[in-house]
Structure 1
Amino acid sequence: MSLKRSKFNRYKVNSLIDVGRRVVLCHIFTIGTPSKSDATPLDKYLAGLPPNSTANYSRISSKEKKFNPNELQQIHNDATCTTFDVSLLWKAIKLACESVADYNDSNAWKTPSTRMEYYVTAIKDERNNSMHGVPEITTQEFLDTAAKLRKLFHDALGAAKIRYRRSDAELTAKIQEVNDEFYKVMLEVLGEDDLLMYCGPQLKQSLILETNKVLKEHFMNSLNLDPMSFLNDIKLHIHVQKVFTEIKVTRGRIRGEGESFKYENLVEVARSGPKPSEPQVLFVEGIAGSGKTTYVTLVTDEWLRDAKDRTITGLDYYDLLLRVQCRERKIISLYSLFENEMPDVFLKFRSLALPLVKQCKILILIDGLDECNEDSEKLIDDILTRMKTANGCTILFTSRPEGITRFISRVPHMYQVSYIELIGIPKSCRALFVRRYHEEIKQKIGDTQDTEKLVEKVHEVLKKEHFRLPLNMVFLTWIYIHDPSAITTTTTQTQLYYSTYKLCQQKLLDRLARHSATRSSDRRELEIRLKDPMETIQFESLLALWRSQLTLEAEAEDHIRISCKTHGIPHAELLSAFLTLKAKKTHLGIIGQYSAPHKGLQDFYAAMHIATHRKLGSTSATVKEVLQEALGKLDKGLRPLQNVLYHVAGLLHLPPSMVTQTVSEELLRTITREIVDMLYESGLRMRERWLDLVEDTRVNPTVLRRVAPYFAAQDKYEYVFTFNEIEEDVKETEGTNVEKKIDKQDQNIEEEKSKEKQTRNKGKIKTDGSNPSFPKKIKTVGIYDTRIDCSLPLILLLPPCEIKILLEQDPGPRMADLINATRHHFCISLLLSHHFRKPNPAGTSDQLLQHMLPRSKLLAFRGLLTESSLHLLPPSLRGIELAITDDDHAARTLSALHSVYHKLPVLSRLGIHVPVTKVASSSFIPVLPENKINNIHLHLSGVNEQLIGNACRVAEALQCPGGYQSLYLPRASLSSAGWQRLLEGLAEARVQVKQSINMKTNDENLAQLKIPAKDKLGCDVRFEQFLEW
């Protein structure tokens, strides 16, 4: 390692001070505790001091006797006390040594004198001053300091000799030992272990400063998003913060199980487990286009900002941030990563770099685990091995689900492992994303399309589930720019990819029409000549994907060039139309390599090779045989091709005008069944992905029939929103006496299920040796708005099973379909949020509830009911949320609740929504006649300045003796003063809120309400910025 002389002098001073610790202080402690044996730890020795001891420990307070955790660890690690640091040795001398000044006698311990106490403190202060002083000193300053330290150590030994009446010979020997140690330090060069021991903190801080300086310059070039650069000659370079809006994430300690939380806290949650100081692995998984790389880019950008300007929490915990792209090659170890990314820093610290890194709190972002190649796998294994004992290390992996499945067993057991799933952009933020992205495009390329017309056009389209993925909205925006009519509510995900592909082809044809080598040919002729070169790109994309490569090797580029030359196509035009040229750093310098603009597009290009393969339409060849012809033996299994097969299915079911290969209906059905089976074989298990497939193939009957058994057999946790509190209550009351009250109903339901199963087994869903069979037990299936078009036809094909229904929108238009699809199933959760949040007497939940009740053990209900339907609520109900429409409905609903609540023995949660604009408090009575439920939630919507008094009176009138668990105020329109008046009014009305008042607001000044809410009501205030009411 190359160090400046001035820095080296400082390190040598630290080594000299350690002589004072090892030789001087340890000697004073030893002769001052003559009765202590080397086998007795300090704390036990102190606890066993005899009554006649003069040690300070016997005379000081309990607080002064305490050791901190770091001190206790040193004490328990070394009973001899010889390895204690300077501060602990100083403390030990003050506490344990006989015949020293009083513990709190500052005059003796701190005032310069010839007393032993002063010398002991002076040695400790020298160490602290050196550790926190200037990092560099001149040679003369070093020599002066060495002389001063030598005298200090000699004087301390002399004072100890007098205090404890030791021999002259012992003093002479100790002084000689000090001189010998000084001589060694003065003459010898410090080794690596010595540098880390004596100078570790300074070296670590120097490494942090210099590494961050280099990496921050490097990271500045990676903060722009440009996934569609191949479509334009202009590089867009859109900064990540310009378009990022919101992303929905879930977390869990077990894969597939999770709860929603704010994306801003994603990094912080890694350290929220039971052992936050231990090394952590955080798997962030998401399907293609869900925003994984965008999130890593966002974290990197936040890291570059000052702590006060950061949105993402938890970053200030870390000293260093490293970033790894799994698609990169040639870097196989953490050592070579440092050497490649920070050559100057590496040259300075050399072999000390990694030991120092392990002492830092470090966040390592590893992007694209599913894109690993042989080199990056070695790099990741090396990182995991080296950092497994590094406390304060967090390794964040992003990957498609299949990448994590393959890799998870390789994580050493020392790591605390968490799982995060990127779901995508919430519906409420999708229009904002499109608006921001299009505005950025307009600034870069001068597009004349009106952004608000675009947002208006795609408003309904964006509600489709596949538009939760940011990449799909990017495609949608570009397609709209070139052909607004191409976007409809039936546009599937594969159609987006296909339209983008065709857009690339059309822009290429436009360029070829102007190119000197091809402008003499008409457009149709150019299309024919392009066919083989484009097929070569598709074939090479499939090969690269199989080899875990995103970039094309030189041989693949040569194949494309040869094909272009054969057909008279300028290869540079073709390559730039479908691929991007990326600079890559190698030992030979910077070289350019072509790659797909996004791995999702590489998957699509590969799928095009299969879907348009001549053999599929003209022979009885199977998809697997087409793959084997291209790839040879499929010895890796089908997992790497899962997304490719997904696109193949979508391509084969595009509108006929888009299909490039003529396939008979019977053959198409055969191919479809094979692809569905291959998807299952590839590891596709999540129900969400099966629904994606059904949607992308336009609810094709063959797909539905083949998918149904796989959908039913899914072995992953199906997350469907429900009342979290109810789910906990279910666990807590399981098996209690209260269950006996509904045993009879349970028995009837099970008997009905059995009969229904026998009937259905005789129906059209049959299984034989060639078809997948339904499992004996099907886990609960969820039905919700964004999937209703594809889930209802699928549920019709399932054997009887439990279902949960969550509908945010008005179910009216689909009520008949919903009733028909669920007629054989057993509903345990019916949550009709539209009826609850926007109650209208003309649209109640009665019909659907009455349809479900005869067959179901309903646990949770949310909606709008009439008085007669309230009397039908089953005794199995554990949670209910009801809406009120007006005064008359309030009176009838509350009266009915009073009469039926005793028939609901396991009811543990009650929610009431009252639109304060439509009611008067005079019509209200407490929600229940007795305080039997402690978990009551009140929603008061539409509160404005004029309705504050009414809202307070309603809350007072509805209140049971135990008060409310929480109070929600959606659609409120209040000033800061209005919020204050509302809190005061609630307090005057003696409204009790045990947990929190929840407001929908973006007013940051309202944080000041937390204190009065706590003082007046005893509860917290929470601000729900994205509450979708």
Structure 2
Amino acid sequence: MSLSTMKYGCKVIMNLEAAAKKVMQIVLKWGTPGKDPNEDFITYVKCLDSSISKTNYILEDKKRHPNRNKTQKDKVKNDNSCETYDITLLLIFIKLYCLNMARLNDAAWSNDGDELENLLYQIKEARNNAMHESLEMKENEFKENTKKLREDLIATLTKAKERFSRSDAELKEEIEKLEVGMNKITNEPLDLDDFLRDYHSDLQDHTINRLADQLKQHPTYKKYVAPLDFLTTSKVSLNIENIYVKPKFMQGRPEGKAKDVEHLDLIKLVQGRPNQPKVLVVEGLAGSDEVNESSQKLIRDILDQMQGNPKCTVMITTRPEALQEGLQLIPSTYYWVEVELVGIPKGQREDFLHRYLDELHKTCPGTTPTPPTTYDINQRIKQLDVETKEHFRLPLNLSIVAILMYSWPDKMNRNTTQTELYSLIHELTLEKLDKRLIDNDLTKHFDRRTRLDKVENWLSALYCEMFIALTHDQLTLQEESVNKLRSKCDTLHLPPDKMMAAFMETRIVKTFRGCDLDCCSVPHKGFQERYGALYIIQGIKQLEKPEESGNVKQIMFSTPGICPIQLSKMQNLLQMLVGMIPHDWDSIMVKDVVNLLQEAGVNRRDQWLDVIEDTKCSEKVVKAIADHFPLPGASVNTWDENDPIEIKDGRIAAYEKLLYILPPTQVELDIDGDPASLNCLLASLDHHVCIEFKLWQTYYNPTEDIYPIVDQLLSKVQW
């Protein structure tokens, strides 16, 4: 964009900021007769006779003052003459303080017409539009724009002269000044540096005001979630306020110095450093605004711009695998603190599900059969054991559970893994899609088997494109990928819009030049990672020797169109991949994927336990992980935990299998639930040493029938 193409757009802004603003100043002056230029407006209107004065300030509410931001308040405080007021502030003052204006809520302000009120409103709109549109403009466009603006400004002065009973001589004088000013701007050469110097303040004020307005509206846009797009053709919006439960945050957990942090106190962690700008880094699993190629530049720009402002605090959220990249972006002059979003804590997960289900039944009745009774819901939630299973700490997983309970209440049980949750939601999506295809002209003549085969064929193409996008750190598919998927639909005689809408969401994105683009993206990165894992599984099934070592890595790294793969960003995909490996496949693939997980940075005990539980403690997986599992005081990987293995309720099943394989080590038991649940673990504890044994139920509910069980456990545990 060169100066030659920008100059006309700059001149439009100059005419608006000079000539148009001057006209509004004149209107304000004419409409407030008797006001001393050195007198503030509040003092002026308070002196008016309320019995005969016809200003909106008095007619509407004597105590009413205009809404103003800090910049406007400063101008009002320091400038009684209104010379520095912008067009927006001038219009506010005209509405409130000028005589004989239409009431504040009168349609005359916004309806098309040639009344003074509407002419003033159109001037403000012309100024706002000019600030948002591209500065590129052709000469003929500029001439047309200037001609219309000149006519509107003269019409405004003429109407103001009539409304406020000013003389013809005054009107003629002001029109002549207007003509001289606009001709000067129109005809003189423009230097861009001069323009930016003269209008920098106005452009900055306008940008700040518009951003402030948008930020105020932003929470309203984010107040609702729409989790059921694949279930109904209508938009389903659930109010977050009715679903929200307090999440759990921790500081220092990776270093073994974990402490809970109240979510409302997060910002306090970085306070107390008045001389430094500050950064709060919030790390969270699948579902956290991740540091990627696109966001890196934005983060770097923000941090660079804020370096000189010690009052500034920037908050960054990221997944664990991208954490180091995020930390490297923080300049040394910043003070930063890292916390971890653990998820929904025990004791609140059932409450979350109840809230979610209540909101679903309230918001979209009729999209499911007769709602189950409260008793049925309570029983089903209890059967899932969400309070102890670790993968249910993630809000996304609990949201999936709620959706499945709403639509397929009998599909889950206490043994349902995270991978199975994604599989079930995928099955539900396919079922709903098939019902739509039955009614579609393109597909209604196919039998069910044919329809499903065609859909699976198309999904294979989707999995590939999703994997490619994942390597590029993109949730949104590129235009080329979208065209490929649409072309695949044409080949298979499937309706493109129905297929895309079933697995992706379409959103409108504004380009730099102000154009609207329809973009297709997955609703959540977790789904994209699952599609990527399915792509690898399908690729291995097509190989002549799927059992050979190295197949997974070969498919991942040799797919056409991918970016150089960073394994650290593939942790979640690889974990899902382990859960998808068929039980009858050779253990070589399990070992390969587990080794890749270790290369990707999976090294903490809780990470390995998540993998074990996601595969229902498969013997092949447990054996493969045992070689990488960190032991007290032993640096098996880059991760070194010097504390004993701690076994909690939700990890009993995983440790039951793992402890048989691990060499003798120190163990702590920390059990909230029924002590009898430990019976299955005792045999695997035989060659380990228990250095601490906490049974909280015994502590809080010391009933007599518990003691025999406790005594029996204590007698069997090695000390």
Aligned equivalent of 1:437, options 353, 356, 365 = 356
Amino acid at match of 1:573: K
Matched, 1:591 2:521: no
2:467 is aligned, of 530, 535, 542, to 542
Q: Secondary structure at the match of 1:712?
A: coil
1:403 is aligned to 2:322: yes
Q: Taking structure 1 as reference, are residues 518 and 140 closer, same or farther at Cα in structure 2, changes over 3 Å only?
A: closer
What per-residue deviation string (whole Å, max 9, x for no partner) do you get for residues 503-537 of structure 1?
A: 11111111111111111111011111222211111
1:280 to 278, 281, 287: 278
What is the CA distance between 1:497 and its match in structure 2? Answer: 0.2
Match of 2:214 in 1: 214
Partner of 2:604: 686
CA distance in structure 1 between the partners assigned to 2:427 and 2:212 by the alignment: 44
Q: CA RMSD in A?
A: 3.5
Measure how far apart 1:826 and its partner are: 2.8
CA distance 1:495–1:617, change in 2 (3 Å): farther
* Cα displacement string for residues 237-272 of structure 1 (whole angstroms, at most 9, x for unaligned residues): 22221210121111249877431122222233332x
- Partner amino acid, structure 2, of 1:430: R
Counterpart of 1:608 in structure 2 is: 534
Structure 1 length-normalised TM = 0.48
Aligned-pair distance for 1:613? 2.4
Quick check: 1:624 aligned with 2:553?
yes
Q: CA deviation at 1:203?
A: 11
Secondary structure, counterpart of 2:410 in structure 1: helix
Task: From the CA coordinates, give the structure whose radius of gyration is larger.
Answer: 1
| 1:698 matched residue in structure 2 | 616
Number of equivalenced pairs: 537
The C-alpha deviation readout for 1:417-448, integer Å capped at 9, x for no partner, is: 11111111122111221122122222232143
Shift of 1:234: 1.8
Question: Retained in 1: the 8 A contact 2:645–2:667?
Answer: yes
Q: Does 1:800 align with 2:718?
A: no
SS in 1 for 2:602: coil
Residue 460 (structure 1) aligned with residue 383 (structure 2): yes
Q: What is the aligned partner in structure 2 of residue 261 from structure 1? A: 261
Q: 2:84 and 2:267 mapped to 1: Cα distance? A: 45
**Deviation per CA, 1:759-810, whole angstroms, max 9, x where unpaired?**
xxxxxxxxxxxxx899998642110001111122212222222222110001
Residue aligned with 1:688, SS: helix
Unaligned runs of 5+ in 2: 1-13, 26-72, 86-192
Is the contact between residue 568 and residue 600 of structure 2 (CA under 8 Å) also seen in structure 1?
Answer: yes
- Counterpart secondary structure, 2:628: helix
Match of 1:860 in 2: none
Question: Separation in 2 of the partners of 1:712 and 1:5?
Answer: 74
Shift in Å, 1:137: 2.5
Superposition pairs for residues 889-904 of structure 1, below 5 Å?
none
Return closer, same or farther for 1:631/1:848 CA change in 2, 3 Å cut-off.
farther
* 1:713 and 1:774 in contact (8 A); partners too: no
Alpha-carbon distance in 2 for matches of 1:420, 1:262: 11
1:971-982 matched pairs, under 5 angstroms: none
> What is aligned with 1:528?
453
In structure 2, what is the equivalent of residue 449 of structure 1?
371
1:296-337 Cα distance to aligned partner (Å, 9 max, x none): xxxxxxxxxxxxxxxxxxxxxxxxxxxxxxxxxxxxxxxxxx
Contact 2:664 2:688 in 1 (8 A): yes
The answer as to 2:343 corresponding to 1:424 is: yes
Change in Cα spacing, 1:139 to 1:590, as seen in structure 2 (3 Å) is: closer
Cα distance, 1:849–1:585 mapped onto 2, change above 3 Å: same
Distance in 2, Cα, partners of 1:140 & 1:215: 29
Shift of residue 577, structure 1, vs aligned partner: 0.8
Return the alpha-carbon distance in structure 1 between the equivalents of residues 218 and 563 of structure 2. Answer: 40
Moved more, 537-546 or 255-264: 255-264
Q: Larger RCO: Structure 1 or Structure 2 (Cα < 8 Å, ≥ 6 residues apart)?
A: 2
Give the superposition deviation at 1:195: 12
Q: How does 1:868-879 map to 2 (within 5 A)?
A: none
**2:398 paired residue number:** 473
The separation in 2 between residues aligned to 1:595 and 1:707, in whole angstroms, is: 34
How far does residue 218 in structure 1 lie from its aligned partner after superposition?
4.1
Contact 1:712 1:798 in 2 (8 A): no
| Secondary structure class of the residue paired with 1:481 | helix
Q: Which amino acid aligns with 1:478?
A: I
**Alpha carbons of structure 1 residues 451 and 541: separation in structure 2 relative to 1, 3 Å:** farther
Instruction: Answer yes or no: is 1:780 the counterpart of 2:705.
Output: no
The 8 Å contact of residues 249 and 260 in structure 2, kept in 1 or not, is answered as yes
What is the CA distance between 1:484 and its match in structure 2? 1.7
Distance 1:837 1:579, change over 3 A: same
1:843 partnered with 2:706: yes
Work out whether 1:483 is the aligned partner of 2:408: yes
Give distance in 2, aligned partners of 1:445 and 1:231.
10
SS state of the match for residue 460, structure 1?
helix
Q: Distance in 1 between matches of 2:276 and 2:639?
A: 41
Contact 2:470 2:529 in 1 (8 A): yes
Structure 2 vs 1, CA of residues 503 and 633 (structure 1 numbering), >3 Å: closer, same or farther? closer
**Equivalent residue, structure 2, for 1:1018:** none
**SS at the partner of 1:281?**
strand
User: Using a 3 Å threshold, how does the CA distance of structure 1 residues 580 and 803 change in structure 2: closer, same or farther?
Assistant: same
Cα distance in 1, alignment partners of residues 626 and 336 from structure 2: 33
Q: Deviations over 1:104-158 (max 9, x none)?
A: xxxxxxxxxxxxxxxxxxxxxxxxxx9796243227999xxxxxxxxxxxxxxxx
Query: Is the CA contact (8 Å cut-off) linking 2:598 and 2:628 kept in structure 1?
Result: yes
**Pair 585,417 (structure 1): closer, same or farther in 2 beyond 3 Å:** same
Gaps of 5+ in 1: 9-129, 143-188, 293-366, 657-663, 718-771, 856-1029
**Mapped partners of 2:249, 2:539: distance in 1:** 39
Shift in CA distance, 790/439, structure 1 to aligned 2, threshold 3 Å = same
Give the letter for the 2:598 counterpart. Y
2:453 & 2:606 partners in 1: Cα distance? 39
Cross-structure match for 1:638: 567
Contact 1:475 1:496 in 2 (8 A): yes
8 Å contact 2:299–2:329 — kept in the other structure?
Answer: no
CA distance in 1, matches of 2:562, 2:206: 52
Q: Is 1:694–1:704's contact at 8 Å kept on the other side of the alignment?
A: yes
Q: Which residue of 2 aligns with 1:234?
A: 234
Residues 326-350 of structure 1 show CA distances to partners (whole Å, capped at 9, x for unaligned) of xxxxxxxxxxxxxxxxxxxxxxxxx
* C-alpha separation in 2, matches of 1:450 and 1:381: 51
CA distance in 1, matches of 2:656, 2:563: 36
Question: How far apart are the structure 1 equivalents of 2:490 and 2:75?
Answer: 68
Inter-CA distance 554–788: structure 2 relative to 1 (3 Å threshold): same
Q: Which amino acid aligns with 2:510?
A: K
Task: Please list the CA deviations of residues 163-215 of structure 1 after superposition, one character each: whole Å capped at 9, or x if unmatched.
Answer: xxxxxxxxxxxxxxxxxxxxxxxxxx99999999xx9xx99999766542232
Equivalent positions of 1:45-56 (< 5 A) are: none
How many angstroms apart in 1 are the aligned matches of 2:704 and 2:505?
Answer: 58
CA distance in 2, matches of 1:776, 1:245: 34
Identity %: 28
Local SS of the residue matching 2:347: helix
1:228 to 1:688, Cα distance in 2 relative to 1, 3 A: farther
- TM-score, normalised to structure 2, is 0.68
